[in-house]
């Protein structure tokens, strides 16, 4: 008994209970994957106020769910105007949007001398994650289009499954090829190589899906060949040397891709020449006859917004996208109305961001403002900024999909929606800051 006790004590003496668990490449990968997801979620929360969006997103999913269920019974009328090759081109564009994630960072070069096997293992896990992501994404796209492909375009279950496998393999293989081109070429050479690659891939994908729909044996053979090429690409990428700096740059680009899309062209550049007078409001006339702190802030916000070339360009782009969606003949009326309601959230949230940019400017900070004045001015200013563009989007919706009475109702209801949305968003924002 005493001998057993001494043996246990000796074994426990080799265990340092205070020492944390040893870090492994797998744990490091999971840690970076979790950090990447948390970062993307934080960026998304800056764009969308989820408490407000909940009132529109949940009903939108319910409506779209009923629409999706009805597509299995009978195809919608608008799909008759879309030939099959248009769907194939859309699937091709989705199949070539993939990328390869490696999850390496600049600080990893400190481990290379002591942990030479870590980087290949980290890259292997990153490529496995990329493959799984492409698989899940392709499955979601094929599942979303499944009722249209089966009911209207008459694809069999076997052809639908083969299309899914083809999408997965093609998306992975094209991601590796694009990745290799980015490592090999730069500048105009990379552009030319990308154009050539797109021409070749377009021909292969479109020809295969259009002509081999009935030849499952040949189609499966092409899938196996592409799967072998994808496997060889993964092996080649693991043994490729001298690309660490480009890999880090690639990962930084992928990590910041979403936020770069949101902030694209939203950085004000220093003008080359100083204008004597602005193009709009050059005489700086008063907008409101009644002078008070609220109207002063609103007037400052509206003039600053209209005079900003960056903000006006983004405003026009947002307006073009919204009106384009409302004018699409292939979208049913119900989906257009849901999109029109959702656009009000993004419109108000975006202009709220610029409101705080104006409020934090050095000139405005020279004065003290009451909280009630800042809140009232924010509601009033954002309402005036959103209303013209949102009315044009609603007018496009009414002209393309509704009667004249419906168009008038949309315009009146749109003003009420903007007023309500602006007040709710600003009120909740000020409550959070309190």
In the 3-class helix/strand/coil scheme, how is 48-74 assigned residue by residue? CCHHHHHHHHHHHHHHHHHHHHHHHHC
The pLDDT value recorded for residue 261 is 64
The pLDDT value recorded for residue 21 is 52
The pLDDT value recorded for residue 134 is 95
The pLDDT value recorded for residue 240 is 87
How far is CA 120 from its chain centroid?
29
Higher pLDDT, 363 or 408: 408
Per-residue confidence at 8, pLDDT binned at 50, 70, 90?
very low
The pLDDT value recorded for residue 264 is 55
Instruction: State how far the alpha carbon of 247 is from the alpha carbons of 132, 177, 182, 311, in Å.
Output: 20, 15, 10, 34
Cα 40 from Cα 42, distance rounded (Å): 5
Higher pLDDT, 13 or 423: 423
Across 304-314, average pLDDT: 84
Would the pTM count as exceeding 0.75?
no
The pLDDT value recorded for residue 369 is 81
Instruction: Collapse the DSSP code of 132 into the 3-class scheme (helix H, G, I; strand E, B; otherwise coil) and give the result.
Output: helix
Give per-residue pLDDT as tens, 88-137: 999 999 999 889 998 888 877 777 657 778 888 888 999 999 999 999 99
The pLDDT value recorded for residue 273 is 45
Percent helix, percent strand, percent coil in the chain, to nearest 5: 80, 0, 20
Per-residue confidence at 314, pLDDT binned at 50, 70, 90?
confident
Least confident among 50-54, 346-350, 382-386: 50-54
Across 136-161, average pLDDT: 92
Helix/strand number for the chain, H first, E second: 16, 0
Cβ proximity of 73 and 145 under 8 Å? no
Q: Is the pLDDT of residue 274 over 60?
A: no
The CB density around residue 65, as the number of other CB atoms within 10 Å, is 10
Which pair of structure tokens corresponds to residue 48? 């969308």
- Which residue has 């089966």 as its token pair? 150
Q: Is the pLDDT of residue 359 over 90?
A: no
Q: Is the pLDDT of residue 170 over 70?
A: yes
Of 95, 122, 82, give the one whose Cα is nearest residue 205. Answer: 95
Strand locations in 181-230, DSSP E?
none
% of the chain residues with pLDDT over 70: 84
The pLDDT value recorded for residue 56 is 66
% of the chain residues with pLDDT over 90: 26
The pLDDT value recorded for residue 1 is 47
Give per-residue pLDDT as tens, 238-248: 888 888 888 88
Cα 345 from Cα 50, distance rounded (Å): 10
Least confident among 45-54, 173-182, 233-242, 344-353: 45-54
Cα 226 from Cα 222, distance rounded (Å): 6
Across 158-180, average pLDDT: 93
- Which residue has 């020809």 as its token pair? 207
Which pair of structure tokens corresponds to residue 251? 């990962």
Across 340-358, average pLDDT: 86
Least confident among 31-35, 275-279, 302-306, 395-399: 275-279
Cα 206 from Cα 212, distance rounded (Å): 10
Per-residue confidence at 214, pLDDT binned at 50, 70, 90?
low
The pLDDT value recorded for residue 388 is 92
Listed ranges 66-75, 159-168, 421-430; the one with the highest mean pLDDT: 159-168
Instruction: Collapse the DSSP code of 369 into the 3-class scheme (helix H, G, I; strand E, B; otherwise coil) and give the result.
Output: coil
Sign of CA dihedral 263, 381, 421, 334: negative
Which pair of structure tokens corresponds to residue 67? 């629409």
Cα 376 from Cα 306, distance rounded (Å): 20
Sign of CA dihedral 351, 353, 354, 355: positive
The CB density around residue 179, as the number of other CB atoms within 10 Å, is 23
Q: Rounded to the nearest 10 degrees, how much is the dihedral formed by the CA atoms of 218, 220, 221, 222?
A: 90
- What lies within 8 Å, CB to CB, of 346 at 6+ separation is 47, 48, 318
Cβ proximity of 235 and 181 under 8 Å? no
Phi, psi dihedrals of residue 97, rounded to the nearest 5° = -95, 0
The pLDDT value recorded for residue 50 is 63
Task: Give pairs for 242-245: CB < 8 Å, separation 24+.
Answer: 243/183, 244/104, 244/108, 244/109, 244/119
Query: Domain map of the chain by residue range?
Result: 25-262, 293-433
Task: Give pairs for 241-250: CB < 8 Å, separation 24+.
Answer: 243/183, 244/104, 244/108, 244/109, 244/119, 246/182, 246/183, 247/102, 247/104, 247/123, 248/104, 248/105, 248/106, 248/108, 250/102, 250/179, 250/182
- Averaged confidence pLDDT in the chain: 82
Which pair of structure tokens corresponds to residue 342? 């959702």
Cα 374 from Cα 369, distance rounded (Å): 7
Least confident among 12-21, 202-211, 418-427: 12-21
Give per-residue pLDDT as tens, 63-79: 788 888 888 988 888 78
- What lies within 8 Å, CB to CB, of 66 at 6+ separation is none
Instruction: Collapse the DSSP code of 332 into the 3-class scheme (helix H, G, I; strand E, B; otherwise coil) and give the result.
Output: coil
């Amino acid at each position: 008994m005493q001998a057993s006790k001494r043996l246990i004590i000796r074994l426990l003496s080799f265990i340092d209970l205070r020492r944390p668990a040893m870090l492994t490449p797998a744990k490091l990968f999971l840690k970076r994957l979790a950090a990447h997801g948390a970062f993307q979620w934080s960026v998304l929360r800056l764009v969308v106020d989820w408490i407000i969006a909940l009132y529109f997103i949940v009903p939108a999913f319910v409506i779209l769910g009923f629409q999706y269920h009805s597509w299995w019974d009978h195809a919608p009328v608008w799909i008759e105007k879309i030939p099959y090759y248009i769907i194939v081109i859309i699937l091709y564009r989705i199949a070539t949007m993939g990328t390869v994630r490696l999850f390496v960072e600049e600080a990893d070069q400190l481990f290379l001398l002591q942990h030479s096997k870590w980087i290949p293992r980290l890259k292997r896990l990153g490529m496995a994650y990329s493959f799984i992501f492409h698989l899940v994404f392709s499955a979601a796209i094929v599942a979303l289009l499944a009722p249209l492909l089966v009911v209207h375009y008459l694809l069999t279950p076997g052809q639908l499954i083969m299309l899914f496998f083809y999408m997965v393999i093609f998306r992975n293989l094209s991601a590796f090829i694009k990745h290799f081109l980015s490592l090999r070429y730069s500048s105009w050479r990379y552009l030319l190589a990308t154009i050539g690659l797109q021409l070749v891939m377009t021909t292969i994908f479109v020809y295969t899906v259009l002509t081999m729909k009935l030849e499952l044996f040949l189609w499966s053979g092409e899938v196996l060949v592409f799967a072998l090429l994808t496997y060889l690409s993964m092996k080649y990428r693991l043994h490729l040397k001298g690309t660490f700096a480009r890999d880090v740059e690639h990962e930084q680009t992928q990590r910041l891709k979403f936020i770069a899309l949101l902030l694209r062209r939203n950085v004000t550049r220093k003008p080359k020449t100083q204008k004597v007078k602005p193009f709009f409001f050059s005489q700086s006339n008063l907008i409101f006859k009644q002078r008070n702190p609220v109207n002063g802030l609103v007037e400052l916000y509206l003039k600053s917004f209209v005079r900003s070339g960056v903000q006006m360009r983004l405003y026009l782009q947002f307006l073009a996208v919204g009106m384009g969606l409302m004018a699409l003949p292939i979208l049913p009326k119900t989906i257009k109305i849901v999109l029109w309601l959702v656009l009000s959230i993004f419109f108000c949230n975006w202009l709220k961001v610029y409101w705080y940019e104006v409020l934090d400017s050095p000139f405005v900070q020279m004065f003290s403002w009451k909280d009630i004045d800042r809140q009232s001015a924010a509601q009033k200013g954002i309402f005036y900024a959103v209303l013209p563009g949102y009315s044009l989007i609603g007018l496009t919706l009414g002209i393309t999909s509704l009667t004249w009475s419906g168009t008038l109702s949309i315009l009146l209801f749109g003003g009420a929606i903007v007023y309500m949305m602006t007040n709710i968003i600003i009120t909740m924002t000020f409550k959070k800051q309190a």
